[in-house]
Amino acid sequence: MSKLSNLAAVANQGEAMVADTISKNGRSSKSQTSRKSSIVMAITVILVAFSSCASHSGLTANLNNHGTQVVLSKANYKVVGHVRGTASSGISVFGIPGPDRPLISEARKKMLDEANFEGNSRAVVNETVEVNNFNYFFRIVQEKVVTVSGYVVEFTE
């Protein structure tokens, strides 16, 4: 009887080891699934946090109060090129802006400097003002960029 009881005890130990191994494997596959879902969730959060959005508005109406009017009704001119100037407000964090500057005036000055008016009878026509607002990190970080552009015409007569 003692040999039979020893064999029964060994069999019970073997069953316990198999059951323990199965339960450990079951737990490890659950933890692997949990780890994979945690990694996917972390990647998703990082991608959303580093995404950005922007808005754009173009001021194409004739809102300029320049003293000179250019009438291009005759063929007495040629288009020399396209010029543009850009100015940025810099980065603002949590809505606290940098120094307040007249961005359209600054961008227009850069554009006119590029036009090379000296010694030429030139004018800038079809002036367009574009305002771009960039938002990063859920609108925590913001930047405003103004671009003024136009075509340079040179008069031949």
pLDDT digits 0-9 by tens, 93-107:
877 777 777 888 899
**DSSP secondary structure of 51-88:** -EEEEEEEE-S-----S------SS-EEEEEEEEEEEE
Is the pLDDT reported for residue 7 higher than 50? no
pLDDT confidence of residue 35: 83
Question: Does residue 10 have a pLDDT over 50?
Answer: no
CATH number for the domain running over 52-155: 3.30.110
Output the six-digit token pair for 116: 């090379």
pTM over 0.85: no
pLDDT, tens digit (0-9, with 9 covering 90-100), for 41-53: 888 887 777 776 6
Encode pLDDT of 58-69 as tens digits: 665 555 555 566
Looking at the chain, the whole-number percentage of residues with pLDDT higher than 90 is: 16
User: What proportion of the chain, given as a percentage, has pLDDT over 70?
Assistant: 64
Decide: 88 and 76 in contact? Cβ < 8 Å: no
